[in-house]
Amino acid sequence: MSNPSLLILPGDGIGQEVMVEVRKIIDWYGENRGLNFDVSEDLVGGAAYDKHGVPLADETMAKAQEVDAVLLGAVGGPKYDVLDFSVKPERGLLRLRKEMDLFANLRPAQCFDALADFSSLKKDIVSGLDIMIVRELTSGSYFGEPRGIFEENGQRVGINTQRYTEAEIARVARSAFELARRRNNRVCSMEKANVMESGILWRDVVEEIHKAEYSDVELSHMYADNGAMQLVRAPKQFDVILTDNLFGDILSDCAAMLTGSLGMLPSASLGAPMENGRPKAMYEPVHGSAPDIMGQGKANPCACILSFAMALRYSFDQGEEATRLETAVEKVLASGVRTGDLMQSDGGTPVSTSQMGDAILAELSSSL
């Protein structure tokens, strides 16, 4: 059987720096766990624009469609701010999401004990937190028509349309239920069925899918505004949160910050299953290209390394190895090793990007 394939797109700024550390981890898995990947690397964002005059070449897009998973660093930077909107680095990322039809965005909010003090909430509220937000990513208010700014009775009117088909709701609901089965078997679906018809349909379809295919999973519903309150009041009550594009945008950022630094946050975007049963998938840290620290060895590689852990779990069925990697990150943090974004006045050992990668590798090796 051929090795699973992985397309690496480091992108710009610290995307390139953190990906060097991920490559070390990938090599470690080949050498120590017999997990070999066919890895190819290509350009995206400003780096692709510099070479091809576009933020994503057609050949790169074609490759992304063929591989088992894409791992992306970050795109963008001040050098490209002057470019026309159509060729800005971010357009490369959007093209990947759109053409791969990555409709389910997974954003875990997990609080490593060693970093509980970074949260703006009290330690006992976030310590041990482990929730997953599943946000619908390709429809809803950000895409619905009609949209635009129109003239009406002598004044301007801004219009966006919240629109969901049953099929769009059903497929992302299935993603959430499948995930819950691999976790603690609970889904809380959030919408505003009290004031929005799209919310009523959302709730109906989620219930139908639940009844027909996932009755073993515990399902609850919550209005999204209450969901926001509950996320800061008692976030540990949740396992998987399922929600639409607009509410998910807000709720996932809120949940992410419960856990501290941007340098720690991974994400996955999943699409429909391919012929081999694996979902189309792209994994990437939540952070951007951080031009303020690029080239200085200051970037925290953990978000990107944890994104690779998500790839191990969700694309390559290597849940145990994903846990091994997450545990290694947790142990390194617990030992006080810190990149600059995680330094606090009460100490810790300051390390560079590559030293953080090496510390995680050493921890992986001692796990054997």
Residue 76 CB, nearest distance to ligand NAD (Å)?
2
288 in contact with ligand NAD (CB under 6 A): yes
Q: Which is nearer to ligand NAD, 81 or 152 (CB)?
A: 81
CB 327 within 8 A of CB 367: yes
93 in contact with ligand NAD (CB under 6 A): yes
> CA-CA distance, 44 to 76, in Å (whole number)?
10
289 in contact with ligand NAD (CB under 6 A): yes
The answer to whether 142 is a known catalytic residue is yes
The answer to whether 117 is a known catalytic residue is no
Name the segment binding ligand NAD (CB under 6 A); options: 49-57, 73-81, 166-174, 273-281. Answer: 73-81
113 Rama class: left (phi>0) / alpha (psi -120 to 50) / beta = alpha
Q: Which is nearer to ligand NAD, 55 or 279 (CB)?
A: 55
Name the segment binding ligand NAD (CB under 6 A); options: 222-230, 245-253, 271-279, 284-292. Answer: 284-292
305 in contact with ligand NAD (CB under 6 A): no
77 in contact with ligand NAD (CB under 6 A): yes
169 in contact with ligand NAD (CB under 6 A): no
Can you say whether the dihedral through the CA atoms of 57, 76, 247, 140 is positive or negative? negative
The answer to whether 42 is a known catalytic residue is no
The answer to whether 253 is a known catalytic residue is yes
> CA-CA distance, 38 to 2, in Å (whole number)?
9
263 in contact with ligand NAD (CB under 6 A): yes
User: Which of 218, 223, 228, 291 is close enough to bind ligand NAD by CB under 6 A?
Assistant: 291
User: Which of 341, 359, 363, 364 is close enough to bind ligand NAD by CB under 6 A?
Assistant: 341
> CA-CA distance, 325 to 312, in Å (whole number)?
9
188 in contact with ligand NAD (CB under 6 A): no
Q: Which is nearer to ligand NAD, 75 or 132 (CB)?
A: 75
Q: How far is CA 48 from CA 9, 68, 76, 88, in A?
A: 10, 22, 11, 10
Give the distance, in angstroms, between the CA of residue 43 and the centroid of all CA atoms in the same chain. Answer: 20
Name the segment binding ligand NAD (CB under 6 A); options: 68-76, 100-108, 205-213, 316-324. Answer: 68-76
Residue 101 CB, nearest distance to ligand NAD (Å)?
18
Closest CA to 129 of 144, 116, 139: 116
The answer to whether 51 is a known catalytic residue is no
Name the segment binding ligand NAD (CB under 6 A); options: 25-33, 229-237, 286-294, 309-317. Answer: 286-294
Return the beta strands (E) in 69-199 as ranges. 69-74, 104-110, 130-136, 144-152, 155-161, 186-191
> CA-CA distance, 226 to 204, in Å (whole number)?
19
> CA-CA distance, 105 to 101, in Å (whole number)?
11
| Bridge partner list, 151 | 156
74 in contact with ligand NAD (CB under 6 A): yes
Catalytic entry in 12, 49, 68, 192: 192
Closest CA to 282 of 15, 60, 64: 64
110 in contact with ligand NAD (CB under 6 A): no
Angle at CA of residue 354, ends 303 and 252, nearest 5° = 10
Catalytic entry in 27, 113, 130, 253: 253
Q: How, if at all, do strands 279-285 and 240-243 pair?
A: unpaired
Cβ contacts of 361 within 8 Å, gap of 6 or more: 24, 25, 28
User: Which of 206, 293, 360, 361 is close enough to bind ligand NAD by CB under 6 A?
Assistant: 293
144 in contact with ligand NAD (CB under 6 A): no
Q: Amino acid identity, residue 202?
A: W
Catalytic entry in 50, 58, 216, 225: 225
As annotated, the active-site residues are 142, 192, 225, 249, 253
Interacting residue ranges for ligand NAD, rule: CB under 6 A: 14, 74-77, 90, 93, 262-263, 284, 287-293, 299-300, 303, 341
